[in-house]
Structure 1
Amino acid sequence: MTTPERLQLRSEFLDAMSQLVASVTIVTTDGPAGTAGATVSAMTSVSADGDSPTMLVCLHHETTAAPAILANRCFCINVLSADQSDIANVFAGRVPAPNGDKFAAGPFAKMRSGAPGLETALARFDCKLLSDERIGTHHVMIGSVMQVARLGGLPLLYGNRAYQALA
């Protein structure tokens, strides 16, 4: 495929993908490589069966969170509520973090793995990293769920290139 064709396909792909709606999450980690986190909409369950449930998350290779997760071997997926777009913006780098610390944006507590879990998240999935594969610009990471916490409520969604909420 020639470069103009590839660029056209990429543009069409991104436009079409903008029509999908996804839950907004922040993925966090802590350990020997330090504390890090990023806003992510590419997250899903893989299986509820097996030795433990499994989750999949995709992180851009240029985030500080990706290499930290690889080194720490753990991550927590925090599902944001409809009123937490401010936290999503901080972890996405769209707005400055309070006092330069992303984790000052909300109340966090250590999960079983040691990763920070947002105490006010709709749900938290604390995972041990099982596998990682770099595909294009992203790391596709699969984690074994060690702990789950759930508050419930309405999720923050991302679709049509903007945050959305259920009516």
Structure 2
Amino acid sequence: MSEPSDNADRLDQAPIDPQLFRAVLGNYASGVVVVTASDDGVPVGLTAQSFMSLSMDPPLVLFCPQRTSTSWPRIEKARHFAANILAEGQDALGLRFARSGIDKFEGVGWTPGPSGAPLLEDVLAHVDCTIEAVHEGGDHLIVVGRVLHLAAEKDLKPLVYFRSAFRVLGPGLS
């Protein structure tokens, strides 16, 4: 392996402006999920845009909750979660689960998945998992889940997060 150049060393030491970081990375569109779990029979959930597949064999996914999340410790305690992938028009659901201090499940239809995690009604897809590993990642955590069960609704379009706002796919895109 070659040694880093002097230029790389200087860049490594340069601070990155947080607002610039957010603005630039906001150009990467992502889906939106509501991560849910059952903590001693009580449903808990949070909204995340950092969700993706990790491995086909074994089937693994990951999501990244903020360290300051009040919902994450309850999900971690449950040792399972469901990633409910939101569909077009579910902006309010995404915003609801992003808030603290409210009953996020009031008026929200759901059924328990194989792990016991709530599977929300009318979402694009859900991925039910057990927690495989948790890694540190700056001001977030990297949670790896082993997939137990998954299903998708083929006739829906995804809710997309782009440049700090919810978006939908344009005509002709699906």
Q: TM-score range by the shorter chain?
A: 0.7 to 0.9
Runs of 4+ residues over 6 Å off in structure 1: none
Question: 1:64 offset after TM fit, Å?
Answer: 2.1
Q: What's the TM-score, normalizing by structure 2?
A: 0.84
Note if 1:24 corresponds to 2:32. yes
Residues in 1 aligned to 2:88 and 2:23: alpha-carbon distance in whole angstroms: 24
Q: Per residue, is there more helix in 1 or in 2?
A: 1
Match of 2:112 in 1: 110
- Matched position secondary structure for 1:103: coil
Match of 2:75 in 1: 69
Q: Deviations over 1:92-149 (max 9, x none)?
A: 118x8xxx42112421110011111112111000000000012211110000000112
Q: Deviations over 1:66-101 (max 9, x none)?
A: 11121110010000001100100101118x8xxx42
- Matched position secondary structure for 1:30: strand
Residues in 2 aligned to 1:42 and 1:15: alpha-carbon distance in whole angstroms: 16
Match of 2:4 in 1: none
Match of 2:15 in 1: 6
Note if 1:46 corresponds to 2:54. yes
User: Matches of residues 103-142 of structure 1 in structure 2 within 5 Å?
Assistant: 103-142=105-144
Which one is further off, 32-41 or 80-89? 32-41
Contact 1:81 1:121 in 2 (8 A): yes
What's the C-alpha RMSD, in Å, of the aligned pairs?
1.9
**Unpaired runs of at least 5, structure 2:** 1-9
Residues in 2 aligned to 1:102 and 1:31: alpha-carbon distance in whole angstroms: 14
Residues in 1 aligned to 2:73 and 2:15: alpha-carbon distance in whole angstroms: 28
**Unpaired runs of at least 5, structure 1:** none
Q: Give the residue type in structure 1 aligned to 2:55.
A: S
Greater Cα radius of gyration, structure 1 or 2: 2
Contact 1:31 1:114 in 2 (8 A): no
